[in-house]
């Protein structure tokens, strides 16, 4: 059963709540992310739990994915606008070849922290059966929302949606 407040947040965000997990081991909206190792692409490796304590936006992407490439600049702009203070933005590439993912980030000048998930462990846990996937995670690691498809993450409307989901003032 999905808690009522999660359903209300999802409704406000215009997101569909999955009736069941679509990928092996997927954590649904309302669930808490398990511990996982994040293999560094632009930063050293770390644990997912190192991001607990403040809200987190996780973007799952691939360099070959057109919609992923289309939204990357707006995610970077959002990350730069708030400098990680009210929330943190991280990316997780599902590319098979880290050098292709890294080259894409270099070419686009993406500045937020990015990791690589060539073994698909995070892809499955997060439910990334379609790309791009962006998740809003609260400070305790609970999944508040999942958004499939490209979005302008730095638009006034989207920033307002993020503020409402995280219960913060931007």
Q: What is the pLDDT of residues 126-155, one digit of tens each?
A: 999 999 999 999 999 999 999 999 999 999
> pLDDT at position 22, please?
73
Overall number of domains in the chain: 1
22 in any annotated domain: no
Confidence of residue 36 (pLDDT cuts 50, 70, 90): very high
CATH number at residue 131: 3.40.30.10
For every residue of 16-44, DSSP letters joined together read PPPSS-SSTTPPPTTSBPPP-EEEESSS-
24 in any annotated domain: no
23 in any annotated domain: no
> pLDDT at position 15, please?
52
The CA–CA distances, whole Å, from 144 to 91, 138, 163 equal: 17, 7, 12
pLDDT digits (tens, 9 = 90+) for 45-54: 999 999 999 9
> pLDDT at position 66, please?
97
92 in any annotated domain: yes
> Which tops the pLDDT comparison, 117 or 19?
117
47 in any annotated domain: yes
Whether this model's pTM surpasses 0.85: yes
- Domain interval for residue 93: 4-17+29-166
> pLDDT at position 1, please?
43
């Amino acid at each position: 059963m999905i808690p009522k407040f999660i359903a209300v947040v999802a409704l406000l965000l215009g997101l569909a709540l999955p009736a069941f997990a679509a990928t092996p081991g997927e954590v649904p909206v309302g669930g808490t992310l398990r511990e996982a190792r994040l293999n560094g692409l632009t930063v050293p490796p770390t644990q997912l739990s190192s991001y607990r304590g403040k809200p987190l936006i996780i973007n799952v992407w691939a360099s070959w994915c057109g919609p992923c490439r289309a939204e990357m600049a707006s995610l970077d702009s959002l990350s730069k606008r708030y400098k990680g203070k009210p929330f943190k933005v991280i990316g997780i590439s599902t590319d098979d070849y880290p050098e292709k993912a890294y080259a894409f980030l270099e070419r686009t000048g993406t500045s937020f922290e990015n990791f690589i998930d060539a073994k698909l462990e995070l892809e499955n846990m997060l439910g990334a059966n379609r790309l791009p996937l962006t998740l809003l995670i609260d400070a305790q690691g609970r999944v508040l929302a999942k958004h499939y498809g490209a979005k302008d993450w730095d638009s006034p409307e989207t920033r307002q949606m993020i503020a409402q989901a995280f219960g913060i003032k931007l």
